[in-house]
Amino acid sequence: MTRTLIHGGVVFDGTGAAPFPADVVVEGDTIVDVGVGLDGDVAVDATGHTLLPGFFDCHVHVMFSGVDYLKGLARPFSLPFYESVHNLRATLECGITSVRDAGGADLGVKEAVRRGLVAGPRMQISVNALSQTGGHGDGWMPCGSSVKLFPAHPGRPSGICDGPDEARKKTREMLRAGADVLKIMTSGGVLSPRDDPRHGHFRDAEVAVMVEEATAAGKYVMSHAQAADGIKVALRNGVRSVEHGIYLDDEGVELLLERGAWLVPTMLAPQMVLRIAADGGGLLPEVIEKAQMVVGQHTAAVERAIAAGVRIAMGTDSGVGPHGDNLDEFRLLIKAGMTPAGALHTGTGSAAELLGVSDTLGTVTPGKKADLVLVEGDALAHAGAKGALKEAIRGVWLDGARVVERTGAAR
């Protein structure tokens, strides 16, 4: 089997260690050696570059291409499936080799990537989110129509449920449809005009049965949770990750630490909504008002979590805004108080642990899958500057195969 030697560079290995000079040898789809003075059959000169694990984005929507209610009403039902092909490729080209789709992608989309019909990162999918009536996933409008971000179809069941019995059945339906992770909504949100992100949704008994059923199937639960009460009902009942966490308070921080759960901040999300509004996108006034209301609070909550040592994994909510700008989440985490190395760890080793794949992914260590990103210059310095990390990417490997090669790449 051919041994590919990537030599002469600095390795950020995703374990939490500082970057260090090293060569990396890949055989097939696996990293087989990391050290100095190694040899191989094919050489890639990485002098002046940083080699990192493939990045993770733990909160994307590959079936969205920017939220615009007016365009959505005029869009053919099948168009998002074709748009996802572009979105998946754009995600891969910015060095993200693993994603967790937080709603929208069904089993067919995941299978298309797995079979190599479509270029894209490894996927975990949630299929559709579980929401209470009147919650963040309920598209009811005052005119009597329903405008849902994730309309139901045979491969994507409706997630609306009320009470423990309905919650149990909907959990089983989502798992039957192929969900790798159960996504639930324990608060209102920004993009749903008829609820409030400060209000908690679902009661303890409902969340408990969702977690019980997911656990019985060997899966875990992620929760859209912006309200303080919504964060706490999720954590009390065993949810593995809190998404957004906008109104996270001190009690919520303590629960995150006590339960060893993750926060996936998606700091880009409200900024993407405000950008769409500034560009004249078709957003309802209520949505714009909520985005303006939460953006400062969101930053303060993430700062609080970082200062307390909460486990954080990188996620962006890409799909709300453009795919391909995902790496700017690192910059926002750094502004909120993380070191550059800490920020990059949220998208490598920490994210792999959250997704339950740390035995095969997330670090540049022997025995792991060869998902790698080659960055020209100092990746830690690039992480804090808008767009700089993406622009510096010179190569991306997925399962040992080079899937992105840019001008100026190491030779």
* CB 209, CB 162: distance < 8 Å: no
Q: Which residues contact 187 (CB under 8 A, 6 or more apart)?
A: 136, 197, 198, 199, 200, 201, 224, 225, 226, 227, 229, 230, 231
Q: Give tens-digit pLDDT for 219-269.
A: 999 999 999 999 999 999 999 999 999 999 999 999 999 999 999 999 999
pLDDT confidence tier of residue 411, bands split at 50, 70 and 90: very low
Q: Which residues contact 76 (CB under 8 A, 6 or more apart)?
A: none
pLDDT confidence tier of residue 280, bands split at 50, 70 and 90: confident
Q: What pLDDT is recorded for position 339? A: 97
Rounded mean pLDDT, 331-358: 98
Number of Cβ atoms within 10 Å of the Cβ of 88 = 25
Rounded mean pLDDT, 286-291: 89
Burial of residue 188, with CB atoms counted within 10 A of its CB: 0-12 exposed, 13-18 middle, 19 or more buried: buried
Rounded mean pLDDT, 86-105: 98
CA distance 72 to 127: 19
CA distance 224 to 247: 12
Does residue 409 surpass a pLDDT of 50?
no
What does the block give as tokens for 90? 């754009």
Buried b (16+ CB within 10 A) or exposed e, 49-66: bbbbbbbbbbbbbbbbbb
Q: What is the CA radius of gyration of the chain?
A: 21
Q: Residues of the chain with pLDDT > 90: what percent? A: 86
CA distance 44 to 135: 51
Q: What pLDDT is recorded for position 35? A: 96
Rounded mean pLDDT, 27-37: 97
CA distance 231 to 253: 9
* Average pLDDT of every residue of the chain: 95
pTM: 0.96
Q: What pLDDT is recorded for position 343? A: 98
Rounded mean pLDDT, 305-322: 97
Does residue 377 surpass a pLDDT of 70?
yes
Q: Give tens-digit pLDDT for 5-28.
A: 999 999 999 998 999 999 999 999
Got the DSSP string for 304-348?
HHHHHT-EE-----BTSS-TT-TTHHHHHHHHTT--HHHHHHHTT
Rounded mean pLDDT, 174-195: 95
Which domains does the chain show, CATH number per domain? Answer: 3-54+360-405 (2.30.40.10), 55-326 (3.20.20.140)
Q: What pLDDT is recorded for position 408? A: 61
HSE-up of residue 97 (Cα within 13 Å, Cβ side): 28
